[in-house]
């Protein structure tokens, strides 16, 4: 662990005018607060905040950030208080420490609803002061560097969280070096065999070809020096995780990858970048389709650079990045460059974007998002995807995530253009709307009056903006029908557990699900974006599971049971009156009824003492027996509504409905239907199969759901 003098020396390297007394005070205060605390490695806990502060000095951050790093765990893990920190170190530092503490308490890998809410809090905290996330990222980096001291379970949990949240976030704010290291540290935990395999291949490759990096670096320097171009050249092998990801994306083996080595040319001026590019392309053969100019078209996080891939020494393909020193500062530190100091003065870097722009844009989307799913979609699109740059016919640039389609392009221009889109031309050639766009393409959208968004469009677009606009349009167009259908589905779901779907109950359910009102809830259920079971579960979670799976029968339903024994339908086959059945004893749970042909009975074929000879009562049964139907239906307007009406005409209720596959031309859905007996089910299935819009139908059984 470094001492206060060494930490202050690291700060003075880039900020000679640092308030070293404040840093020393924070150092001693934090040490005293953490006295007696240890890390899992056995080291004093205080070594952690000091290491986090040292990481921030590498990014040349201001005094407030360094002090915050030293204090970042005091509010959560010691007797220190906010007012005490504020009194000793000022309101700026206290606010930052409080912000980091709140981020630490967010469970970012929980359920989607909770995750969306925590992401909202994350972006709200970032909007107040982005330095909060810089300290938190440094905190996570040091924890990942020392993760081997955690339990295996915690290592996996932290690594998944790092790979899903913190690494993409670091990349999104321009801190690519941190993203790469976080990814590789997590990769070491999550897939050690794959990582070790790649490292072994590197070692073998070096034995066969020698050390390639110094040789190619020397070659590049020699060519640049001939033109008297002042520059620095650096080379390195790419990180194991970066290579593994390329292998997965391209479905290629290690030996087939072309650019496992990367080289960087740093120049003084922007003009020199293009001169260096010309020199490289004159000397080596450029690989077609592997050129990107992020200087003329920078990434949205402020990244500027030229990327090209060439065939170098002995035919080895290598990636070359070319940028100026100022561009490199931004590329290395991302938004941290906004607070960077040099010689005691805040550095004014012309390539540094205002870090609040992206956060403000995300907070704006928070307000616009209709529900937590839509907001999570926005977050993932912003954090997890690279971008492509396409042009309008007038030459204007439109930035889209990788995998975007002409429909996404249309909605990016204006919602009205998206709604009225009937076709698209890419580079002057007519293409389908589901075509994936590539960098540099010119896109011309063809529109027509009277055109409206189609349900299949939701599966074509990838951007949150387009998806939200299409959903809103479809809801508005079919709002009344969706509300009516939703009300019927919810009514049946409530009746299934013996409750009524009153307006008050619907309003409470809407509030629990973070929806505006009961009408919005019914609309989502009718459009199948929300399950009626989820609505009931929001108010009566215990009743839903009990009714769905283990609802007891009356004593008269099944004949042959010992006196006083409770009977339950097995979850795996959900047998119906009229079918041949067998009872299986389960210790403490009574007897579960299975269909005689249930696949799960094979496992207990030899346990004859558990088998009970039972059969259904021949009397009339109520329509309270749930079965699940697996349907494939044509994806067309009104088909789902007709299906629900058809089932209703057979005197049966739909208690739940779940989409398992959505395609442009068909849907696959699981429908829970309440029937009285096997004859009733047969009548329903015959009526459904007769509908021309139903492509396939079968009764769904799940052996995995057998009673334990």
- What mean pLDDT is predicted for residues 338-365? 60
pLDDT band at 111 (very low <50, low <70, confident <90, very high): very low
Does the structure show a pLDDT above 50 at 619?
yes
Does the structure show a pLDDT above 80 at 475?
no
In the chain the domains, ranked by start, together with CATH numbers, are 4-190 (1.10.3210.10), 195-342 (3.30.460.10), 470-547 (no CATH), 548-616 (no CATH), 625-705 (3.30.70.260)
Q: What percent of the chain is modeled with pLDDT above 90?
A: 21
Q: Which pLDDT value is given to residue 550?
A: 43
Q: Give the C-alpha separation, 120 to 374, whole Å.
A: 12
Q: Are 529 and 374 in contact (CB under 8 A)?
A: no
Averaged confidence pLDDT in the chain = 81
**Which residues fall within 8 angstroms of residue 589, CB to CB, at 6 or more apart?**
568, 707
Q: Are 359 and 335 in contact (CB under 8 A)?
A: no
Does the structure show a pLDDT above 90 at 410?
yes
Between 528 and 364, the higher pLDDT residue: 528
Q: Are 147 and 185 in contact (CB under 8 A)?
A: yes
* Residue 627, burial from CB neighbour count under 10 angstroms (0-12, 13-18, 19+): buried
Q: Note the pLDDT tens digit of each residue in 268-300.
A: 999 999 999 999 999 988 888 778 888 888 876
Q: Give the C-alpha separation, 381 to 640, whole Å.
A: 30
Q: Give the C-alpha separation, 303 to 295, whole Å.
A: 8
Q: Which pLDDT value is given to residue 184?
A: 92
Highest mean pLDDT among 407-416, 540-549, 578-587: 407-416
Q: Which two tokens stand for residue 601?
A: 């009975």
Does the structure show a pLDDT above 70 at 122?
no
Q: Which pLDDT value is given to residue 511?
A: 87
pLDDT band at 307 (very low <50, low <70, confident <90, very high): very high
Closest CA to 406 of 443, 381, 377: 443
Query: Any catalytic annotation for residue 77?
Result: yes
- Roughly how many angstroms between the first and final C-alpha of the chain, as a whole number? 52
Q: Give the C-alpha separation, 625 to 622, whole Å.
A: 8
Query: Any catalytic annotation for residue 76?
Result: yes
Does the structure show a pLDDT above 50 at 548?
no
Half-sphere exposure of 300 (CA within 13 A, CB side): 20
Q: Give the C-alpha separation, 132 to 102, whole Å.
A: 10
pLDDT band at 611 (very low <50, low <70, confident <90, very high): confident
| Pairing mode of beta strands 590-595, 581-586 | antiparallel
Q: Which pLDDT value is given to residue 99?
A: 83
Q: Which pLDDT value is given to residue 505?
A: 87
348 φ, ψ (degrees, to nearest 5): -95, 100
Between 642 and 664, the higher pLDDT residue: 642
What distance separates the 2 farthest-apart alpha carbons in the chain? 99
Q: List the catalytic residue out of 77, 86, 370, 512.
A: 77
Between 370 and 581, the higher pLDDT residue: 581
pLDDT band at 691 (very low <50, low <70, confident <90, very high): confident
- What mean pLDDT is predicted for residues 190-199? 87
């989820």: which residue's tokens? 534
- What mean pLDDT is predicted for residues 316-334? 83
- What mean pLDDT is predicted for residues 71-78? 89
pLDDT band at 349 (very low <50, low <70, confident <90, very high): low
DSSP character for 453?
A: -
């070809």: which residue's tokens? 209
Q: Give the C-alpha separation, 374 to 276, whole Å.
A: 44
Q: List the catalytic residue out of 6, 76, 480, 649.
A: 76
Q: Which two tokens stand for residue 624?
A: 């309270």
């409905």: which residue's tokens? 657
């003075």: which residue's tokens? 12
Q: Give the C-alpha separation, 126 to 102, whole Å.
A: 11
- What mean pLDDT is predicted for residues 489-495? 81
Q: Are 188 and 150 in contact (CB under 8 A)?
A: no
- What mean pLDDT is predicted for residues 168-186? 85
Question: Considering the entire predicted model, what is its pTM?
Answer: 0.56
pLDDT band at 622 (very low <50, low <70, confident <90, very high): low
pLDDT band at 126 (very low <50, low <70, confident <90, very high): low
> Lowest-pLDDT range, 85-89, 152-156, 304-308, 622-626?
622-626
Q: Note the pLDDT tens digit of each residue in 77-102.
A: 889 899 999 999 999 999 888 888 87
Q: Which pLDDT value is given to residue 549?
A: 42
* Residue 484, burial from CB neighbour count under 10 angstroms (0-12, 13-18, 19+): middle
Between 603 and 679, the higher pLDDT residue: 679
Q: Which two tokens stand for residue 244?
A: 């593994």
- What mean pLDDT is predicted for residues 542-569? 62
Q: Are 6 and 53 in contact (CB under 8 A)?
A: no
Q: Which two tokens stand for residue 708?
A: 């334990």
Q: What is the H or E stretch that residue 630 is in? A: strand 625-634
pLDDT band at 552 (very low <50, low <70, confident <90, very high): very low
Q: Give the C-alpha separation, 505 to 513, whole Å.
A: 12
Q: What is the H or E stretch that residue 568 is in? A: strand 567-569
């Amino acid at each position: 662990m470094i001492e206060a003098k060494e930490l202050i020396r690291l700060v003075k390297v880039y900020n000679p005018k640092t308030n070293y007394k404040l840093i020393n005070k924070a150092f001693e205060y934090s040490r005293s607060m953490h006295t007696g605390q240890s890390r899992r490695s056995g080291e004093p806990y205080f070594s952690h905040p000091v290491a986090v502060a040292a990481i921030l000095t590498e990014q040349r951050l201001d005094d407030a950030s360094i002090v915050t790093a030293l204090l970042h765990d005091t509010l959560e893990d010691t007797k220190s208080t906010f007012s005490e920190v504020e009194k000793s170190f000022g309101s700026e530092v206290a606010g930052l420490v409080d912000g980091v503490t709140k981020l630490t308490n967010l469970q970012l890998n929980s359920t989607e609803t909770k995750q969306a809410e925590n992401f909202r809090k994350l972006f709200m905290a970032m909007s107040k002061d982005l330095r909060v996330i810089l300290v938190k990222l440094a905190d996570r980096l040091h924890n990942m560097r020392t993760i081997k001291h955690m339990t295996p379970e915690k290592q996996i949990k932290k690594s998944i969280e790092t790979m899903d949240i913190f690494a993409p976030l670091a990349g999104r704010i321009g801190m690519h070096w941190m993203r790469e290291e976080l990814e590789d540290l997590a990769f070491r935990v999550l897939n050690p065999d794959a990582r070790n395999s790649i490292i072994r291949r590197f070692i073998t490759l070096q034995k066969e070809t020698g050390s390639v990096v110094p040789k190619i670096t020397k070659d590049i320097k020699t060519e640049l020096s001939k033109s008297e171009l002042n520059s620095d050249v650096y080379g390195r092998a790419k990180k194991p995780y970066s290579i593994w990801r390329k292998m997965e994306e391209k479905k290629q083996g290690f030996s087939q990858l072309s650019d496992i080595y990367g080289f960087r040319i740093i120049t003084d001026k922007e003009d020199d970048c293009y001169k260096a590019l010309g020199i490289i392309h004159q000397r080596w053969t450029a690989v077609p389709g592997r050129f990107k100019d992020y200087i003329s078209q920078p990434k949205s996080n402020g990244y500027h650079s030229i990327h090209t891939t060439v065939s170098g020494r002995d035919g080895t393909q290598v990636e070359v990045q070319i940028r100026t020193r100022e561009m490199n500062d931004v590329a290395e530190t991302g938004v941290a460059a906004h607070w960077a100091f040099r010689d005691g003065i805040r550095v004014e870097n012309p390539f540094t974007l205002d870090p609040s722009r992206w956060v403000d844009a995300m907070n704006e989307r928070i307000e616009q998002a209709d529900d937590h799913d839509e907001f999570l979609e926005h977050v993932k699109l912003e954090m997890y995807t690279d971008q492509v740059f396409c042009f309008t016919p007038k030459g204007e640039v439109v930035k889209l995530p990788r995998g975007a389609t002409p429909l996404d392009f249309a909605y990016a221009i204006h919602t009205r253009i998206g709604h009225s889109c009937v076709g698209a031309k890419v580079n002057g050639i007519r293409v389908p709307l589901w075509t994936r766009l590539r960098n540099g393409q010119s896109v011309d959208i063809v529109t027509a009056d009277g055109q409206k968004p189609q349900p299949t469009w939701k599966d074509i677009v990838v951007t949150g903006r387009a998806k939200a606009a299409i959903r809103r349009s479809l809801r508005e167009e079919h709002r009344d029908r969706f509300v009516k259908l939703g009300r019927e589905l919810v009514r049946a779901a409530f009746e299934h557990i013996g409750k009524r779907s009153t307006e008050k109950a619907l309003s409470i359910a809407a509030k629990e699900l973070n929806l505006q009102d009961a009408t919005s809830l019914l609309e989502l259920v009718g459009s199948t974006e929300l399950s009626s079971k989820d609505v009931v579960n929001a108010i009566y979670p215990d009743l839903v599971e009990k009714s769905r799976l283990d609802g007891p029968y009356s004593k008269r339903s099944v004949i042959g049971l010992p006196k006083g024994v409770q009977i339950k339908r097995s979850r795996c086959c959900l047998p119906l009156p009229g079918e041949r059945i067998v009872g299986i004893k389960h210790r403490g749970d009574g007897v579960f009824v299975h269909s005689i042909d249930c696949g799960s009975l094979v496992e207990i074929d030899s346990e004859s003492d558990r088998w009970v000879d039972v059969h259904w009562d021949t009397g009339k049964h109520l329509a309270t027996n749930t079965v699940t139907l697996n349907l494939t239906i044509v994806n067309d307007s009104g088909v789902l509504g007709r299906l629900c009406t058809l089932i209703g005409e057979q005197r049966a209720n739909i208690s739940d409905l779940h989409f398992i596959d959505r395609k442009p031309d068909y849907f696959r859905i699981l429908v829970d239907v309440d029937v009285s007996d096997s004859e009733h089910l047969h009548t329903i299935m015959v009526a459904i199969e007769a509908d021309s819009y139903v492509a396939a139908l079968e009764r769904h059984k799940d052996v995995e759901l057998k009673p334990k």
